[in-house]
Amino acid sequence: VNFHFTRKCNYECKFCFHTETSTYLAPFEDIKTALSKLNDYGLCKINFSGGEPFLHPKLLGQMVEFCKRDLHVGSISIVSNGSKITEGWLEKYAKYVDILAISCDSFDHETNVNSGRRPRNYLQSSNPNYGGGAKTQFDVLDRVAEWCNEFDIKFKLNTVVHINNHLEDMSDEIQRLDPYRWKVFQCLLLDGENRGPDAIRDAQDMEVSDEQFHDFIERHKKKNCHPVPESNKIMKDSYLILNEQLCFLNCTGGRKVPTESLLKESVEKVLSQCGFDEKSFEARDGWYFLQDESCNSSVGDIEDL
């Protein structure tokens, strides 16, 4: 399960497809109820995403601790822009986290700034920075990569390929950082999120063609960077996305349509409404990660943007 428990974010990425359309944050007791139901149904792996999950450090810590200590979930991961992660949080909660994925779309600072991969007040600030002394997103990456090594967490990178970065060669920095896994997504448009009159973002000018995405992937494969690609076709229906209202999101129609809530209905009924495509999950190499006896199989890759 990929749990987008908050839509709040301190960055303003122009291509974001899970935007701040809601400020709701579920009470921890409701979250425990929903996750316990999923665990009873066979939850093997959970990823916490947003928005930016580290804008709610206390709740995030409670959730990873509950999932690992009480539910014994096989693998727990977090996707973050990295800017709000602190060493103090990791000292307390790292033992409950298996994978930490950081988003970085370019190793050219201006490309990140122009694409919105930066703090919201960055352009207006007299001392623009990415938090904690970091001047760029690369500084954030280096800091988190060091902490992951220190606290024995697998370090993962997520990259969105869009019109501003599709010609870039990131191979030197990818090889230097040596992430456990490098997930590369094609910029995805969804109505009500980053496309259409009711959307907060308009990412239509950020979209890349299938050929441009393919060329980016092949360029880095040749440099032995081992990108794990996800095209729009593969990505759209291959994730179990749980939103802040504890509903799954059905994306089959090009828009995120919520199912009924896990607080009100059975897991089986809610899953039947979410449009999850198991074949697409398998096509994106979903069954890649670790062997977990409680699941009796290898566990899938569910880290999202």
Q: Annotated catalytic, 225?
A: no
- Relative orientation angle of helices 57-65 and 28-41, to the nearest 10 degrees: 30
**Catalytic residue (one of 9, 104, 225, 274):** 9
Residue 91 has phi, psi (to 5 degrees) of: -60, -35
Contact 77, 47 (CB under 8 A): yes
With H, G, I as helix, E, B as strand and everything else as coil, classify residue 62.
helix
How far is it, in rounded angstroms, from Cα 56 to Cα 84?
9
How far is it, in rounded angstroms, from Cα 194 to Cα 99?
28
**Catalytic residue (one of 16, 67, 225, 247):** 16
**Catalytic residue (one of 13, 148, 251, 274):** 13
Q: Residues 142, 144, 145, CA angle at the centre, nearest 5°? A: 65
Q: Annotated catalytic, 67?
A: no
With H, G, I as helix, E, B as strand and everything else as coil, classify residue 51.
coil
Strand runs (DSSP E) across the chain, as ranges?
2-4, 45-49, 75-80, 99-103, 154-161, 181-186, 227-230, 241-242, 247-250, 257-261, 291-292, 297-298
Instruction: Please classify residue 164 by burial: count the beta carbons closer than 10 Å to its beta carbon, then call 0-12 exposed, 13-18 middle and 19+ buried.
Output: buried
Which amino acids are annotated catalytic? 9, 13, 16
